[in-house]
Amino acid sequence: MSFNLVVPDLAESVVEATVSSWTKKVGDKVSAGEVIVVLETDKVSLEVTAEGDGVLESILTPEGTDVEVGAVLGVVSGSASATTSQVITPISVTAPVTSEAQKATPVAKRVATEHSVDIAQVPSSGTKVTKSDVQNFISGQNAPAPVSTPKPVSAPKPAPSVAVNDGGGYRKEERVKMSRRRQTIAKRLIEAQSTAALLTTFNEIDMTAVNQLRARRKDLFKEKHGVGLGFNAFFVKAVIGALKVFPQLNAEIQENEIVYKHYYDIGIAIGMSDGLVVPVLRDADRMSFAQIENQVKDYAKQAQDGSLGIESLIGGTFTITNGGIFGSLMSTPILNPPQVGILGLHAIKDRAVVVNGEIVVRPMMYVALTYDHRMVDGREAVQFLVKVKDLIEDPEVLLIEG
């Protein structure tokens, strides 16, 4: 009996994915639990596995195709043991449907609202009304494209990049499709700047005390916990201490209401070759220094090998990003909506500073807090950053208050 390979439920707020790669060709044997196709979402890559033994009969969605939850990716002709697999039949679109029955992507709804268009009047070219459907409706091209059963294809290949040169081969240009993650990053950055009143305040932190503490305790810490004592735990704990004093930075705006979060889920930005991911430390206030360092280490490893689960990226009440590991001396981080605050860390550099009337050399770090001015006033933002500075410069207080 044949069974379908189906796009699984992705995650809250994630409705689409892109077919990244097929690991099998039409006619190849597959085994239960074997990865057949890899999907790329705006957050992570997901593997779709066979739910039974059989042969890959057809591929309905070539690499590079955008798909929605429930879409059929391909068909496997299998044995009777595979009959428990979920079979979903592609939906044919014949006419516009009512508001109650019709579904639309969040972007489509936003575009429709911006142009005062009733989303129920927009014909869908697929299982949901998309941004393109709304744009076509607005421009008068409101006839939905005919839906036909996709023909099986064999051994799809990635779309090649297009190289253009001036004939001599010295002035080359290359055109490649943006990854879904990079597209989403671009969209979210624009949304953050267009929907929030962004403002950034700066300060500097003397890292002497933390460096001395790490030097004294790092060997014992690693021997006991199996992980190095880095800066992550210090700043996570300092941020939580400051958030408890200034709770408006641990909140979000929902329409005309403010939602204060009485828990501390701290996002840690991790750079990857194709973009940024922000896994979340759940209930970070309940975590020890060792638990924080181990969790961040695990997240970094998972991000690099592609095993980072989508559940690790959902939520977050405040974010910390460290451009200093790449050499950044100062920057203005952009919010991670719907959060209203993000702390940017930077490189530690020896600088001449005045301490007790004398010029001394100290390891200094510039820090930056970007915040949503709709929610947070300048006074609270500055005091928040000063609180972080005080806790880092006196880690004994940090440990006591933590």
Mean pLDDT across the chain: 81
**pLDDT band at 350; cut points 50, 70, 90:** very high
**pTM for the full predicted model:** 0.64
How much of the chain exceeds pLDDT 90, in percent? 42
What is the pLDDT, as a whole number, of residue 165?
A: 53
What is the pLDDT, as a whole number, of residue 114?
A: 67
The continuous run of DSSP H or E covering 76 comes out as strand 72-78
Average pLDDT of span 215-239: 94
pLDDT digits (tens, 9 = 90+) for 111-125: 777 677 888 888 876
Q: Which residue reads 């097929």 in tokens?
A: 22
What is the pLDDT, as a whole number, of residue 162?
A: 53
- Clarify whether 373 is annotated catalytic: yes
- Evaluate if residue 56 carries a pLDDT over 70: yes
Asked whether the beta carbons of 38 and 46 are under 8 A apart, the reply is yes
SS3 305: helix
Please indicate whether residue 9 or residue 255 has the higher confidence score (pLDDT).
Answer: 255
**pLDDT band at 299; cut points 50, 70, 90:** very high
Distance in angstroms (rounded) separating the CA atoms of residues 401 and 394: 11
- Evaluate if residue 236 carries a pLDDT over 60: yes
Angle value at C-alpha 92, between 90 and 97, nearest 5 degrees: 125
CATH 1.10.3720.10 describes domain 182-401: no
What is the pLDDT, as a whole number, of residue 222?
A: 94
- Evaluate if residue 340 carries a pLDDT over 60: yes
Q: Residue 46's beta-bridge partner residues?
A: 39
Q: Which two tokens stand for residue 258?
A: 């403010």
pLDDT digits (tens, 9 = 90+) for 78-110: 753 433 333 333 323 333 333 733 567 655 676
The CATH code that applies to domain 2-82 is 2.40.50.100
Distance in angstroms (rounded) separating the CA atoms of residues 393 and 205: 7
- Clarify whether 28 is annotated catalytic: no
Which of 192-196, 233-237, 338-342 is least confident?
Answer: 192-196
Average pLDDT of span 157-179: 66
Average pLDDT of span 212-241: 94
Distance in angstroms (rounded) separating the CA atoms of residues 275 and 184: 10
**pLDDT band at 363; cut points 50, 70, 90:** very high
| CB atoms closer than 10 angstroms to residue 127 | 18
Sheet with strand 54-59: strands edge to edge: 2-6, 72-78, 54-59, 29-30
Distance in angstroms (rounded) separating the CA atoms of residues 345 and 296: 16
What is the pLDDT, as a whole number, of residue 161?
A: 52
| CB atoms closer than 10 angstroms to residue 325 | 12
SS3 70: coil
Furthest CA-CA distance within the chain: 83
- Evaluate if residue 50 carries a pLDDT over 80: yes
What is the pLDDT, as a whole number, of residue 38?
A: 85
> Read out DSSP for 118-131?
-GGGSPPSSSSB-H
Domain parsing of the chain, residue ranges: 2-82, 182-401
Q: Which one of the listed residues 219, 274, 283, 373 is annotated catalytic?
A: 373
DSSP 145: P
What is the pLDDT, as a whole number, of residue 298?
A: 94
Q: Residue 30's beta-bridge partner residues?
A: 54
Q: Residue 271's beta-bridge partner residues?
A: 276
What is the pLDDT, as a whole number, of residue 110?
A: 63
DSSP 231: S
Quote the distance between the C-alpha of residue 384 and its chain's center.
Answer: 26
Average pLDDT of span 169-192: 78
Q: Which one of the listed residues 283, 377, 390, 394 is annotated catalytic?
A: 377
What is the pLDDT, as a whole number, of residue 361?
A: 97
DSSP strand pairing (2-6 vs 173-175)? unpaired
Asked whether the beta carbons of 125 and 68 are under 8 A apart, the reply is no
What is the pLDDT, as a whole number, of residue 163?
A: 53
What is the pLDDT, as a whole number, of residue 401?
A: 66
